[in-house]
Amino acid sequence: RKEVEQDPGPFNVPEGATVAFNCTYSNSASQSFFWYRQDCRKEPKLLMSVYSSGNEDGRFTAQLNRASQYISLLIRDSKLSDSATYLCVVFTGGGNKLTFGTGTQLKVEL
């Protein structure tokens, strides 16, 4: 079983749509959680951290459920510029490593 699992997509949605991505992780000792965004052939960029209380940054809302080992990202009012791959990322203190999912590809269309 992969440490971090995501649906690879692609998710093709019209502009203005709301889209949700989900991710599960296997290591219950994981300490911190993130969503990164990666444009084609570019480096990953931190989109937002994810907390159990949920957090929101403009059109983006992230949620963590530690009991279910589940992370989500909701994008409201999708823009063409949101087209990218969204990477679910988990930090585990032992080894000091970030573990990435394979990413979910989003394509926002006119």
Partner 1 sequence: ETGVTQSPTHLIKTRGQQVTLRCSSQSGHNTVSWYQQALGQGPQFIFQYYREEENGRGNFPPRFSGLQFPNYSSELNVNALELDDSALYLCASSTGTPEAFFGQGTRLTVV
How far apart CA 42 and CA 37 sit, in angstroms, is: 10
Q: Which tokens in the block code for residue 84?
A: 């990218």
Interface with partner 1 (CB under 8 A), residue from 24, 103, 106, 108: 103
Applying CB under 8 A, does 21 fall inside the site for partner 1? no
The region of 50-58, 59-67, 69-77, 94-102 touching partner 1 under the rule CB under 8 A is: 94-102
Interface with partner 1 (CB under 8 A), residue from 14, 40, 95, 110: 95
φ and ψ at 37, to 5 degrees?
Answer: -115, 135
Q: Which is nearer to partner 1, 26 or 31 (CB)?
A: 31
Applying CB under 8 A, does 28 fall inside the site for partner 1? no
Question: At which residue do the structure tokens 């909701």 appear?
Answer: 74
Q: Output b/e per residue, 72-94; b: 16+ Cβ within 10 A.
A: bbebeebeeebbbbbbbbbebee
Contact residues for partner 1, defined by CB under 8 A: 4, 31-32, 34, 41-46, 49, 87, 91, 95-103
